[in-house]
């Protein structure tokens, strides 16, 4: 799910203290904080290093693989597998980015943060983390936009940014994708689907509680909740006039990173890299803990679309080749093994685009690593208990 570089100059002692303690909803930044100054834009050296690495990887690919993958020169393939999916992805990312910018422009971060303030305060995180947590139930891109904007403007420090991002990758990430998967999986597996989703929900809850516990250990307490002083409500026209240039600037920078990364991932996918990686991981992991019949469930879950693994599991379950326990464990292992593959294919481009390449990669690795650990723990508990 490269190490992140620090952006901008180090904060002054007063500024650092203000960032570390956070602030409750409605509190104004203290006098030691430089409002709006924040950090430099996340491009810079990290962006050019990432683009240079992609160019080098492409050159090595052409040298090591003399023949292009079958069908790569067919125009229809580029439209169906690259251009059309890329346009859909960019449309969703642009919409999420614009929503995040509008929320900031309207000053709704305090209202969104107030909804989940009891949980966020227990984690000793400021209101910006609460706003992003609320937004993450509807759009991961909008949530990341809120976090990056708050970090860039100095309203979150690096530690708070990391913990807030990990918190968003727990329950919000689970419920964000639940509506698009639950009914399909339930139709294929019936009661077994309830067990699977119950266990993955437990893993998400463990991640949430783990982040809250870790935050309480390493962050100082938040100040008490304060009322929001009166401020002039901005008209939509004024908000749009301020938001649109920021949105275009962020979108241009995001496209500069997403387009080459997406193209590189497309070429690797057509070259069979992700299929090879998924099969290797699936067979290496599942063959050590599962019967041979269950290996196909893990392979389908990683290599093909997510429904293929559940369909294979349902067929083996109805045929009596696998029991309920083996099916659930196979699906959980498929979830674990598919995490790095899907993170590379689907999440890495927009994480690198919203944040800097180094910081985005770091956050993605930590978030997906926490997910893997939680699902592995739940799988072991289920295997021992059931």
Which residues, in sequence order, are CB contacts of 334 under 8 Å at separation 6+?
282, 297, 298, 300, 301, 302, 309
Q: What is the CA radius of gyration of the chain?
A: 22
The pTM for the full model equals 0.71
The yes-or-no verdict on residue 121 having pLDDT over 80 is yes
Return the percentage of the chain with pLDDT > 90, whole number.
19
- Mean pLDDT score of the chain: 74
Q: Mind listing the pLDDT tens digit for each residue in 214-267?
A: 999 999 987 765 544 444 556 677 777 777 887 787 777 777 777 777 777 677
Query: How far does CA 206 lie from the centroid of its chain?
Result: 17
Give Cα separations from 81 to 71, 74, 300 (angstroms). Answer: 12, 11, 19
- Write down the residue that tokens 């160019």 correspond to: 55
Q: Mind listing the pLDDT tens digit for each residue in 194-221?
A: 999 999 999 999 999 999 999 999 999 8
Q: Worst-scoring range by mean pLDDT, 14-28, 74-88, 275-289? A: 14-28
Is 264 in contact with 54 (CB distance < 8 Å)?
Answer: yes
pLDDT at position 24, please? 41
CA distance 210 to 265: 33
CA distance 358 to 3: 6
The yes-or-no verdict on residue 173 having pLDDT over 60 is yes
Mean pLDDT of 31-49: 48
Q: Mind listing the pLDDT tens digit for each residue in 278-331?
A: 666 666 665 556 666 666 677 666 655 567 778 778 887 877 777 888 889 888
For 294, the token pair is: 């269950």
Question: Domain-by-domain residue ranges, the chain?
Answer: 273-385
Q: Mind listing the pLDDT tens digit for each residue in 1-13?
A: 444 444 443 444 3
CA distance 83 to 78: 6
Q: Mind listing the pLDDT tens digit for each residue in 128-171?
A: 898 899 888 888 888 898 899 889 888 899 999 999 999 999 99
Return the biggest CA–CA distance within the chain. 69
CB-based burial label for 157 (10 Å; 0-12, 13-18, 19+) = buried
Q: Looking at per-residue confidence, does 3 or 41 come out higher?
A: 41
H or E stretch covering 354: helix 348-354
pLDDT at position 230, please? 45
pLDDT at position 282, please? 60
């Amino acid at each position: 799910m490269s190490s992140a570089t620090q952006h901008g100059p180090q904060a002054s002692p007063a500024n650092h203290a203000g960032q570390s303690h956070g602030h409750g909803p409605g509190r104004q930044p203290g006098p030691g904080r430089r409002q709006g100054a924040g950090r430099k834009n996340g491009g810079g050296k990290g962006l050019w290093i990432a683009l240079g690495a992609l160019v080098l990887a492409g050159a090595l690919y052409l040298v090591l693989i003399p023949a292009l993958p079958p069908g790569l020169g067919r125009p229809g393939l580029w439209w169906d597998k690259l251009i059309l999916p890329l346009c859909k992805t960019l449309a969703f990312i642009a919409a999420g980015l614009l929503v995040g910018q509008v929320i900031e422009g309207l000053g709704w971060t305090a209202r969104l943060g107030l909804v989940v303030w009891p949980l966020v305060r227990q984690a000793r995180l400021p209101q910006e983390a609460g706003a992003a947590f609320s937004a993450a139930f509807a759009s991961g891109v909008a949530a990341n936009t809120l976090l990056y904007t708050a970090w860039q403007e100095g309203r979150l420090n690096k530690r708070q940014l990391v913990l807030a991002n990990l918190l968003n990758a727990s329950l919000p990430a689970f419920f964000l994708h639940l509506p698009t998967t639950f009914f399909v999986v339930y139709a294929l597996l019936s009661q077994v689907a309830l067990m699977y989703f119950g266990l993955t929900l437990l893993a998400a809850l463990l991640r949430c509680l783990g982040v809250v516990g870790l935050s309480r250990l390493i962050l100082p307490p938040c100040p008490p909740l304060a009322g929001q002083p009166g401020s002039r409500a901005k008209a939509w026209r004024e908000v749009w006039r301020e938001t649109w240039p920021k949105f275009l600037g962020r979108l241009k920078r995001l496209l500069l990173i997403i387009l080459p990364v997406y193209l590189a991932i497309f070429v690797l996918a057509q070259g069979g890299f992700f299929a090879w990686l998924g099969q290797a991981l699936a067979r290496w992991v599942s063959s050590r803990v599962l019967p041979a019949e269950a290996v196909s469930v893990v392979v389908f879950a990683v290599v093909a679309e997510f429904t293929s693994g559940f369909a294979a599991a349902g067929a083996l379950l109805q045929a009596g080749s696998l029991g309920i326990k083996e099916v659930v464990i196979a699906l959980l292992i498929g979830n674990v093994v598919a995490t790095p593959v899907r993170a590379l294919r689907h999440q890495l481009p927009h994480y690198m685009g919203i944040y800097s390449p180094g910081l985005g990669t770091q956050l993605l690795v930590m978030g997906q690593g926490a997910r893997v650990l939680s699902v592995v723990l739940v799988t072991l508990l289920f295997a021992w208990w059931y």
